[in-house]
A and B are shown apart, each in its own frame.
Chain A
Amino acid sequence: MESMNITSAQYHNNPIDGQQDSIVATIDGTVVSVPLQEGNRHYDEIMRQVNAGELTIADAE
């Protein structure tokens, strides 16, 4: 919905079950943990930029 400056994005795995549970991203200079949920404005913007070819989400470590 709004232009955000996203400089990095990487999936994070839940250490309990090893499944992807969030994206750790740097948005407007702040490191944030973003849930994989539509309706969360950061997740929606990350996916918009991914679909537009403007951003790639790195695999979890």
Chain B
Amino acid sequence: MALSKVDPNFLNVSQVGGRRNILINGNMEVNQRSFSSNTGRTQFTYAGDRWIFAKNDVVNYDSSYNSFSVGQTDVPGAKAYHEFTLNSAGSGTDFVRLEQRIEDVTTAAGEQVTLSFWARSNTGSGFTLDADGITAGPVEIMQYFGTGGTPSSVVETDFATSITLNTTWTKYTYTATLPSVSGKTIGTDGNDHLRLIIGTMMDDDAGNGIQIAQVQLERGDTATPFEHRSYAEELSLCQRYFNNIVDYYGTNVTGLFMTAAYATDNTYTVYQYPVEMRAPPTFSYGGAYTDFKSRHGNNVTPSNITTHGYGSKRQIALGFTATATAGSAGWMESVSSDAYMYLDAEF
């Protein structure tokens, strides 16, 4: 068919085609940290991938990540939700909130954006989300210009100044225009971002809480149906920011990587990330050395695990203190469901 026969109206599908949701893991099904709950959390913490519970210093609250029951119809297609509950009433400037930080502060700058999410009060009565004391509204976006050099100050845009939650799952929709970033200065550290915030002040009654699911932020003035992406695609998007190397299979040992011994007590490997990460990541591991085994003609527990080399967005070198024959090849394995190795390049 000649191209002249193609009706351009059929190509103008930006509002209903793919890649509408600017957020990652909006359906909250990816949870590489296996986050379940925290009680009386005193620090901000990452939960399901890309989602952060944040608070100021004195706030006491419980947070959790929960799965919907199979076949539920309250929030069609939703797999999981985040929840926080206020344990005590604070002062007017104390806050707790759920956030997602979106790479690149220029995203949708000068454009209308529409936010939609499902939420409900987790108590038997309604619950009002107020301005959270630090930010202007309980649902808003911060344009954060990063650090390094002399970046511009944060700019806040409200979606709503107050929201009264129902006790049943309800879809909430808001549209706002993000300010232009023309004339702004972005920091040199590469950590500028948009910060989506759904939160509340702590002077609301203790015992109140909110459950939040299926969040979508999209360009334009219309909330389109939630964009469902495959788990594999969503996981891959999440891995730019966080990656758990270890996936343990029941009672069987799980090989992690091939290793080489450059000395009688040291082995090392280079691990290639599945996708390029946002920044050179922080490495951590757990639960204990005994959750890992080094096999170089033997089967020993490493006594130390460290990074061996300089930060990179694409790979990391890891070293293990474990007896081995110098020059031999072997492997590192996990032997416990407690084992993890985290690469963290979140904001």
Contact = CB atoms under 8 A, between A and B. Distances in A.
Q: Nearest 8 A-B pairs (CB), nearest first?
A: A35-B311, A39-B190, A35-B280, A37-B311, A39-B279, A37-B280, A33-B307, A38-B189
Interface residues of A, number: 28
A36 B281 CA distance: 10
A26 B7 CA distance: 60
B310 A21 contact: yes
Contact of B310 (A31, A36, A38, A44): A36
Interface string A14-43: 111000011010001011111111111111
A40 B43 contact: no
Contact of A40 (B44, B57, B308, B311): B311
A1 interface: yes
> Mostly helix, strand, loop or mixed at chain B's interface?
loop
B33 to A, nearest CB: 12
Contacts of A34: 282
Interface in B299-319: 306-312, 319
A35 B57 contact: no
Contacts of B312: 35
A7 interface: no
Interface of A: 1-5, 12, 14-16, 21-22, 24, 28, 30-44
A15 B266 contact: yes
Nearest to B310: A21
Interface residues of B, number: 31
Contact of B308 (A14, A28, A43): A14
B112 interface: no
B169 interface: no
Contacts of A35: 280-282, 307, 310-312
B284 interface: yes
Given A2-B54, A37-B280, A38-B148, A15 B190 contact: no
Nearest to A36: B311
Nearest to A28: B43
Given A30-B284, A40-B280, A12 B310 contact: no
B347 to A, nearest CB: 6
